[in-house]
Every structure is written in structure tokens, then in C-alpha cells.
Structure 1
Amino acid sequence: MFYKDVYQLTFIILSIYILQSTCLSTEKSIVPGYGKPPGYIGYNPVWTFKCFNNTCKKIPLKTISPATTISKKDDGKGNEKPELMSLNVCKLFCGKNTGVLWPLPTGNIVIKGPAVPIRSDNIEINSVAETTKEFTVETATIFKKLADDFKNSLLKKLPKEGEVRDFHTTLTILAILKDPEHTSLKLETDESYSINLFYDDSTKGVMTHVKADTYFGVRHALETLKQLIVYDEVKGNMVIPQKITITDKPAYPYRGLTLDTSRNFISLNSLKRTLDGMAANKLNMFHWHITDTHSFPFEPPSMPEFARYGAYSRDKIYRASDIREIVEYAKVKGVKVIPEFDAPAHVGEGWQWTYPEMVVCFNKQPWNQYCVEPPCGQLNPTIDMLYSRVLNDLYQDIFDVFDVDTLFHMGGDEVHFQCWNETTDITEWMTKRGWKTNDEGFLQLWNYFQQHALELVMRAAGSKKPNIILWTSKLTTGEALKKYLDKRQYIIQIWTKGNDPNVAELLNNGYRVIFSNYEALYFDCGFGGWVTDGNNWCSPYIPWQTVYMNKPEELAREALLSNFTLATTKQILGQSAALWTEQADDHSIDNRFWPRASALAERTWTNPKTNWADAEYRFLHQRDNLVELGISADSLQPQWCYQHEGDCPIE
């Protein structure tokens, strides 16, 4: 055959090349279950995994005797080969069938094999209301984002080679919702759910019914399903057990992380990764300590001067659009954003544009006489314009931008009376009112500020009437507690040690509490000193085992002894792990929080009676789940231990 010109010949050669490339690509994407599936190391394995005594072990194939060999199958050429088992599939059915679940569900758990292959491009998610209530536009939108997030998360489980797609199994999920209008998370929100999944042989599909009262229950159910879908590197596709029945609900309503973004700025991408990690662990409260003396990165729409003076740079500012983006992102993840504006202490940078005497002791030296770390700074409660011209507008902006409804954090910790006592304008103002310039008088002054600020907060809240969270302090102890703080209004976040006498005082007086006791839940502890040599103030480092064993009810029981009752447990709302960022930023936030915050998640969701050793294998798997999501979770053990469960811990 002759070709008219070189262009025709070139076209034919290119066509043949493209056709061959396409065929090769197609052949690789439809490789049958046994052979060279995408992702399998070396494509010629010499080992497999097997479940022994609820632990997965890596077993060389040549050591498996005929009596213990896993079932055989034909390789397509008339030869019998042992059916291999990947580590993921082993974990799926090993460990009392809970090997991949975190946090462990609190109700009934039934998981049965075999594993059914599913395709990432063949998943249908639909939602309906159980009652006559119809989905609002907001509800429909958030469910659409949830479904997209579920599918996108599954894609992250796949290796770069892709997946085998030589079958047509459909995973169908139907979410049945009792109250579709409940899309704002509250302390009383019902987050429970149930899952009923089965393989329908007639349709060759996997059917899943999810039932929940609220959106948040549905979201948690999908998170559990996501954990039960694993990539099988032997078969080259994702698989799910053919039967799943689970009922589940959290032990505590407040399961949180506290993050400081003032000492070092944290970018939006890092904030979103933190929310991704929270969602993967069913944590639900993101307490955002957004400002402090060090910087004021929040730009209030009515007073942008705060950020102009107080941000580290122009690209380290949270504008209203940024915060709304985070709040909406968090809602899809089942997380509520709780902003904290800490006052009357912990203020400084950003306030330079206001009335000069509004902030006192700013960067006063030697700093250790006026605050706990540099720079110092406290508000002057005696200035009328502080309330009428600044705080009034600031709270209005915060409530609008953060969409605050049920919870707001007013800070209220580490007020140093020495600062106020050395400010002449303040002591003269107090003397004119007959107040003493001692602890009693300065507590009066503190309360004066708190009551005026609370009035403005409630004005900004309108009809919402949020509960106010405060840190433990001198205002939450002794006579000041009962005299100044209404237990119906205030929730106290305990940052001091779990055995602090203030714990018993708060519970005995009927206050609701959140535990953030620093010896177990401050994730900035255990690093080098930054205002001196040696280690930082709260060393040593807190391992995940300590976090896991920090049991709020036990802390309360030890504090109250015989006074502990069933009613006391209802006062304990939960826990929040805190990261203060003196020594953390975008480059380290992931491994400061994760996977230790996962230990907090199981403690607050499941509140198991067992100890950390019983959870270790699942915990290591959850760490890998976080890495799959793109979170740089810290490594805990050599990978050898992960592949040889039970062979590393000391008995």
C-alpha cells in the first residue's frame, strides 16, 4: 500500500499509537480480581494477611500449611493459587468486626462478610424526610455538599493507578431524616443514627438505609460507612461488607478542639484540614480563639482598623468572607464554630487606634509581673467609650459574621490585678466609688466589665440568647462564682488540672463544665522553652494514651466523692483539646492535633470502659485514615507494628 504523502503516513502512525495506548490503559483499568491489580506492591506477592486472635498478622505465603491455607481460586489459566488477603480487608473483619471503626459506635454493631466490591463512580446518595416536612433550600444544599464530600473522600482511598472497574455493583444510600430543618448544631441536638446495609442479589447492588433525627446524625452515619469502605490492594478495588447493622449516638454533646490563631496565624487551608480531621472523628465543636495580645487577625466589617493595626501582615487577616467560608465548611462537616473574644485580659495589638487609655499595661516590662507571657495587655473597664463605641459594634460584627446562635466564648482568664493596681486612672475611679484596691475590689471591677460586656453580647444576639462560656479564673471560684456568675447563663471551661478543687466547687454549685485540663488536653505541652531555656511551662509531652484515659466522669467522681450523683453527669458537657500556637503554625498544626485528637474523639463519643491498649490497633488504622485525607498526622510506631498487630506492645 502506498500513501499519498508523509502527512497521511504520520496520521496513521499516530492513530495506531493512540489506539495501542488506549487499549493498554483500558486493559489495566479492567484487570480481573486476581493477577496484577493496580496498587499491589510488586504484582507478585509472597505474603498475605490473616486474622489470629482478633489481630491481623503478615504471613509469608510459603509458611502457610495446606490445613491453614486460605481458600483457593483459579487464576484464569487453570492453575490454582491461594486467595490473598490485603491488610485493609483483614482489618475490616478482624478485631470483633470493629477493626476499622473510630470512634467505636456505642450501640449495636453487626458486620458480616464477605466483602463486596464497589466502584467509586457508581454511588447514589438520596435523602428524604420521614414526615411531611419538606427540605428547605438550605437543607437541600447542605445535603448536596455532604454527598459530594462523601464521594470525594472515597477517591482519596484509591492509589494513583486507579481501580478495577470490570463490574457494575451500585452502592445506593437512602438517608431518612426526621427533622430536615434542623441544620444548626446545639448542645441538645440529636446526633444519633442507625445503618442497615445489605447486598441485594437480585439487583447485584448494595442497599443502605440510614435513619437519623437530624442532618448531623446522617453525616455521622456516612462517616461510619466511609470507614467501612476500604481499598483492597489484592483485588484492585474498593470493598464493603455485605451486611452492616449499626446503631450509634455520642456520650457527650460537646466534643471539641480549641485553636489559637493569634500567636501564630493559621491559614484557611489549615483550618479546613483541621475541620476535615474533626469530621473524620465525629468531633463537633471548633472553639476558635481568634485574637489575643499578640495579634488581631480578625477584620470586623465596621472597624477594619483592628486588623489594620493588629494583623502580622496584610495576608494574615481573616476577613468576613473568609470566616463565613469556614463556618459554612464546618457546618457541612457537622462542626459548630464557636468564636472566642477573650477579655478583659489578653488584649493588646490592634487596639492602638482606639482611645489611648482603653488598653493598659500593653507590652509593659518586666512582663512576668503583669501577665503570663509577653506581650501583656488588659482592657480598662472604667472607660465608657469601651462599651458604647467599641465593644457594642465588635460584638455585633462577631455575631453576624460567625452566625452565632447558641454558644459564645467570652474568655475571661488570667486577669492580673497588679496591672490594674498600677494604673492610676483605674485606682482613682475605684476609690471614688468606695471600692477597695485589693482582690475583692478588683473582682468587683472585673464583674463590672463582665456585666456591661454581657449586656452588649445579648444585645448583639437579639432573640437567640446564647449560653456564655468562660475559662476558669479567680472569677469562677469562691464567693465571686455565686455572686457574679449565673449558672443558668454560664458554662465554665476548666483549663486547670483535673484535680483542681475548683472542679468540685463548680459541680457542687450546679454549673455545667467542659474539661480542657492542661495535663491531659493541652497539645502545646512538651516542647522547648521560648522565654527561657529548658522545656515549656506545661511539659512533658502528652501522649495519646493520656488523652484517651482522661475520663471526665472519673475526674468529677474523684472531686465530689460521695456527692457525685447521676445529675452530676448531666453537668459534664464534654471535653476540648487545646492548641496554643506560641510554637505552632501552618507547618506543624496537623501533627500537633493529630492523631492525638482522635483519642479525645473516642473518649467523648464512646466513653469506653476499656483502656487505651484495647483501642490501639484501631487507633493506628485511624491515623492512616487521616493521612489518606491529606492530614499530616504524626507517626506513632514503625509500620512493622501496624502489619504485625500484637507483636510490639509489652505485656
Structure 2
Amino acid sequence: MFDTLFERNFIPWKFYPKRAVFEPGRDGTYRGPRKEITKLTLVLKKPDPETLLRPLAGSVDESYELALNTDGTATIAANSTIGLVRGLTTMTQLFFKHSDGQVYTKLAPVKIFDAPKFPHRGLNMDVSRSYYPVKDIKRQIDALGYTKFNRLHLHITDSQSWPLVIPDLPWLTWKGAYQYDMIYTPTDISDIQYYAALHGISVVIETDMPGHTTSIGYGYPNLITAFEEDDWATYAAQPPSGTLKLNSQEVFVFLEKLWNDLLPRLKPLSAYYHTGGDEVNKNAYRFDETVNSSDPAVLQPYMQSFVNFNHDAVRHAGMVPIVWEEMLLEWNLTLGRDVVVQTWQSSAAVQQVVAKGHKALVGNYNFWYLDCGQGQWIDFPPDSSEGFWPYADYCSPRKNWRLIYSLDPLDGIPANQTHLVIGGEAHIWGEQTDAVNVDRMVWPRAAAVAEVLWSGAKDAEGRNRSQVEASPRLAEMRERLVTRGVGSEPVHMPYCTMEDKGCIW
């Protein structure tokens, strides 16, 4: 906290008129003794739950009360240690840096009661298509904690690479990682989990399957069908093609080794495990000798058995499964009531998921995909590029923060089903994002998601939250992130916060 206040704080000149004298004491009007905070009291009102470090959604109370008094005392009270962390974070955001090196606030006295609208508030970070050193993941964790997210979802394997070290299956990384040192060891994963826990964040690991698994085939080729077919677009969502076989005994032996090695290591600091399930191309199973069909009616029972096997292993490890929406809505699988379904295609998908009685995560790609608008990453030969110009990506255009802020996670959800929408995630996929540009791709737009998930999309009168009011808050948060070493983009030019009328239409 003291490091944030005194070392990672900023002088807020951008939020006052040009050349204004805005700092206390600079205009000569304040002549009394300087009032200082002499006492900060933290009150934990009840014992922490046993699940504090691996919480299920809603199992830990993150609310807090903060009082900053003119007599120099401050109190933060909460029902959990994580609530105290959220309160301490807010307290640092009440203060600004003074040009004399001190810090100050003009808000005292102030009393705040704050609590999140949704218990799952996350960022999905693809660390498979592009590799991120652990230090760069930790920088995102620091920013997530400062904006009161509480989940980091690591999409850690995909078709292009398998960087996750599984000691019982050594060929996964020896053959499947981009380079020998572009891997995440068990120590790395434990380090990431622990660092996140200190920020009140739980890590969710995802090994996507049965699709998006080509990288397994580099070390274990017998497990994969349609492996690196030249006509990849017929058999996969993107190159290279390759999918785990659905009815192979070798595949189930592989999965058993994977789960027995990985899940017990994750359990101490993770309550959820994501088994993937998106974009499975049925055509790939024409090459699968264990099913020999692309007929959905033939494949569906095999997919049911495949998912049942994985989810039983997750439950046996004491964790809760998460899947992508296709497993429920496209494959029509019967999923356990404990399974959380992550949606990404539409608000209608959220409605369908909760109508089936499942808990849902929101993440509509038309709003909360942070990598959109970068253009195509696939090359087109001259004789086949017609029709693709100007080479926009599938989810163009870029999702600006105002669009992001406009998504209501409860859009179209009946009042008696809103409790099933447990939150959502922003997504940063790795086709054109890596450690060099990830900060500007994620921040500060992800902070707009954070506010929607913490405060809800509606104000006290039930209206959409005002972007006119949100804009200066987001601009201020951007400055605070920059002081924390996060390369966050500007929200707008300084003029917009320095003038009374600002940049309002």
C-alpha cells in the first residue's frame, strides 16, 4: 500500500484546467496545520472461509466499508481478508501525488460501502499461441488486482503450442512447445497461482480439448486425427488442423496421466478447471478410425463419454469443471449441474445456457474480445485474395471501451435466472498479441469490463451507466496503471479532462 501511495502514484494535472493551481497549499489559501493520517485500522469482522484461496463464485464476501475521517483516522472493515484487500486498493485510489513528494486527498471525510455485482470477474489470457514470460503474466495480475478483477483464466494449450510441462508426459513440451525454454514448469504455475492469490485472484487453467489439440500430436501422434492436413480450413478453425480422437483407448490413457499429474498440483489454489470444448470440427473425425464418421448423431455419444471422463477426473480432484458453450448448445451434451458454461458468441447464448439451468460466464466476442480489429493474421496468395480485401479479421472492428462498457451481462435474462449469470471475462487471444504489446491491447479497456462486472451495467435508476461519467474515471485509472509499469493506452487527449465541457457531444 505504501509503495502504491508514495512510489506508484501520479500528479493529476490532466484533471484540472490549463495552468491551474490545483495542489493543496500552492495557492496560499490553506494556512492551517497539515492534517495527516495517523492511524489506519483494519477490521476483519468474521473468520475467513476455508475456501479463501480457492473460492467458488460467491463463496467469499469481497465487500468492504471504508471510512476516512478528518481527525486523521481511517478504518477499513470487511467480512474477509480479500474484502480488506479490495478496501486497501480503493484507499490508495483516493490519493494523488503532490509535487513536494507527499500524497494528499481532497475527499476526506468520506465513507464508502462497496460490493461486487458479479462474483466471477476475469481476464482470459491466451499464453499458448504466443508465449509470455512469467514476469509479464505477473504484470497483468498486478493490473487485474488493482482493477478488482478476481480471476485469471490461462488458456495455456492450443493447436500451435503446448507450453505446459507435464512430467508424466514429457513429450508434450519437448515436441509441442515453440522452444525448449518457452514452457511453464510446475514451479512456474505454482508461482503464478501464489502471486495471484496475494492479489485476491484465483487462477483458472484451461487445456482446450478435444479440438485445438494439434500440438499434442508432435509428441504423441497416435492420439490425433486430421493431423496437419494441407486443407486445414476443412478440418479446423485455424491452422494447423488436428483433433484428439474420440474413442481411442490410447487417448483415455493419456488423459488419465494428464489429470493425475496436473490436477492435484493445481487444487490448493484453484477451485475450477477449464476443459475447453470450443470449435470442434466434425469433419476431422472422417480420419478417426475409432469413429469413422462426421455425422453429429454418430459423434455425439462419443463426445458425451469424452467430456464425462474429463469432468469426472476434475471432480475427483476436488475441482469444478468449466466448458465452452458449444458443448452444451451445439453438441447438446448432458452436463453436470456443477458445470459452468463459458459463452462467447452472443447474449442469446447466455440466455440459452441459463434456461438449461447452468451457471454462465459472459464474454460476447462482439463486445469483450480485446484482440479484434488487428486485421487478418493469415496470408492470402494473389490468386485467392479476392474477396478478403481489406483483410479484416473475423471479429473486426476493434472493440472500443465505450462499446465494451455498453454490454449488460444480464441482457435478456429473466429475473428468476439472473443468479445463474455468475460473471464474465474479457478475452485477449494470442494470434497477434505477445509480451511486447499485451499491455496496450488489454488496458485500459479491460478496466471498463471490470467496472461493469463490479458495479453492474445499470445505475441506481436502472439506466445504462453514463460514459460521460465513466470517461474521467477510466482516464484516471489509466494514469494509475501507467505508474504501476503497465503500458496502458490513453483514453483521450488531456483537453477532454481539463476543460469544463470536456469532449461531450
**Aligned mates of 1:575, 1:49 — CA distance in 2:** 34
Q: For 1:541-560, list aligned pairs within 5 A.
A: 541-554=398-411, 556-557=412-413
Q: For 1:493-532, list aligned pairs within 5 A.
A: 493-498=342-347, 500=348, 502-532=349-379
**Aligned mates of 1:283, 1:569 — CA distance in 2:** 20
**Aligned mates of 1:445, 1:173 — CA distance in 2:** 58
Indicate which of 476, 479, 484 corresponds to 2:334.
484
Q: Which residue of 2 aligns with 1:396?
A: 260
What are the Cα deviations for residues 193-231 of structure 1, in whole angstroms up to 9, with x where unaligned? 11122243xxxxx32222111111011000000101211
Distance 1:423 1:244, change over 3 A: same
Q: Does 1:280 align with 2:146?
A: yes
Q: Which residue of 2 aligns with 1:180?
A: 48
Q: For 1:261-340, list aligned pairs within 5 A.
A: 261-340=127-206
Q: Does 1:595 align with 2:444?
A: yes
Q: Does 1:470 align with 2:323?
A: yes
What are the Cα deviations for residues 432-479 of structure 1, in whole angstroms up to 9, with x where unaligned? xxxx751111122211211122223333x1xx2x32111111x3127x
The alignment partner of 2:157 has SS state of coil
Q: CA deviation at 1:596?
A: 0.3
What 5-or-longer segments of structure 1 have no aligned partner? 1-38, 42-47, 62-69, 76-80, 85-113, 119-168, 201-205, 428-435, 558-563
**Aligned mates of 1:582, 1:322 — CA distance in 2:** 23
**Aligned mates of 2:34, 2:207 — CA distance in 1:** 50
What are the Cα deviations for residues 236-280 of structure 1, in whole angstroms up to 9, with x where unaligned? 411134423111110000111001111110111110111111111
Q: Which residue of 2 aligns with 1:162?
A: none
What 5-or-longer segments of structure 2 have no aligned partner? 1-8, 380-388, 460-464
Q: CA deviation at 1:396?
A: 2.5
Q: Which residue of 1 aligns with 2:238?
A: 373
**Aligned mates of 1:449, 1:72 — CA distance in 2:** 65
Distance 1:467 1:60, change over 3 A: closer
Alignment coverage as a number of residue pairs: 475
Distance 1:400 1:615, change over 3 A: same
**Aligned mates of 1:450, 1:568 — CA distance in 2:** 26
Moved more, 516-525 or 356-365: 356-365
| Residue type of the alignment partner of 2:65 | S
**Aligned mates of 2:372, 2:282 — CA distance in 1:** 27
Q: Which residue of 1 aligns with 2:272?
A: 407
Q: CA deviation at 1:518?
A: 0.3
- For the aligned residues, what is the CA RMSD? 2.7
Q: For 1:624-639, list aligned pairs within 5 A.
A: 624-639=479-494
**Aligned mates of 1:468, 1:611 — CA distance in 2:** 36
Moved more, 334-343 or 611-620: 611-620
**Aligned mates of 2:166, 2:24 — CA distance in 1:** 67
What are the Cα deviations for residues 266-312 of structure 1, in whole angstroms up to 9, with x where unaligned? 11111011111111110001111000010010111322321111111
Q: Which residue of 2 aligns with 1:239?
A: 104
Q: Which residue of 2 aligns with 1:127?
A: none
Question: Residue 348 of structure 1 contacts residue 362 of structure 1 at CA under 8 Å; is this kept in 2?
Answer: yes
Distance 1:40 1:606, change over 3 A: closer
| Residue type of the alignment partner of 1:484 | T
Identity, in percent, stands at 27
The alignment partner of 2:291 has SS state of helix
Question: Residue 273 of structure 2 contacts residue 320 of structure 2 at CA under 8 Å; is this kept in 1?
Answer: yes
The alignment partner of 1:445 has SS state of helix
Question: Residue 245 of structure 2 contacts residue 288 of structure 2 at CA under 8 Å; is this kept in 1?
Answer: no
**Aligned mates of 2:39, 2:217 — CA distance in 1:** 56
What are the Cα deviations for residues 407-443 of structure 1, in whole angstroms up to 9, with x where unaligned? 111101111111102334431xxxxxxxx75111112
Q: Which residue of 2 aligns with 1:224?
A: 90
Question: Residue 116 of structure 1 contacts residue 239 of structure 1 at CA under 8 Å; is this kept in 2?
Answer: no
Q: Which residue of 2 aligns with 1:573?
A: 422
TM-score in terms of structure 1 length: 0.69
Q: Does 1:196 align with 2:48?
A: no
**Aligned mates of 1:476, 1:194 — CA distance in 2:** 40
| Residue type of the alignment partner of 1:440 | A
Q: Which residue of 2 aligns with 1:416?
A: 281
What are the Cα deviations for residues 554-574 of structure 1, in whole angstroms up to 9, with x where unaligned? 2x34xxxxxx22x21101111
What are the Cα deviations for residues 106-155 of structure 1, in whole angstroms up to 9, with x where unaligned? xxxxxxxx99665xxxxxxxxxxxxxxxxxxxxxxxxxxxxxxxxxxxxx
**Aligned mates of 1:60, 1:509 — CA distance in 2:** 58
**Aligned mates of 1:330, 1:313 — CA distance in 2:** 26
Question: Residue 387 of structure 1 contacts residue 453 of structure 1 at CA under 8 Å; is this kept in 2?
Answer: no
Q: CA deviation at 1:180?
A: 3.4
Question: Residue 548 of structure 1 contacts residue 603 of structure 1 at CA under 8 Å; is this kept in 2?
Answer: yes
Distance 1:171 1:268, change over 3 A: farther
Q: Which residue of 1 aligns with 2:386?
A: none
**Aligned mates of 2:10, 2:305 — CA distance in 1:** 67
Question: Residue 246 of structure 2 contacts residue 290 of structure 2 at CA under 8 Å; is this kept in 1?
Answer: no
Q: Which residue of 2 aligns with 1:31?
A: none
Distance 1:393 1:49, change over 3 A: closer
Distance 1:342 1:40, change over 3 A: closer
Distance 1:405 1:627, change over 3 A: closer
Indicate which of 346, 349, 357 corresponds to 2:212.
346
Moved more, 171-180 or 581-590: 171-180
Higher Cα radius of gyration: 1
Question: Residue 391 of structure 1 contacts residue 456 of structure 1 at CA under 8 Å; is this kept in 2?
Answer: no
| Residue type of the alignment partner of 2:478 | R
Q: Which residue of 2 aligns with 1:617?
A: 472
Indicate which of 451, 454, 469 corresponds to 2:311.
454
Q: Which residue of 2 aligns with 1:212?
A: 78
TM-score in terms of structure 2 length: 0.88
| Residue type of the alignment partner of 1:172 | L
Q: CA deviation at 1:57?
A: 2.8
Q: For 1:34-183, list aligned pairs within 5 A.
A: 56-58=16-18, 82-83=28-29, 170-180=38-48, 182=50, 183=52
Question: Residue 343 of structure 1 contacts residue 412 of structure 1 at CA under 8 Å; is this kept in 2?
Answer: yes
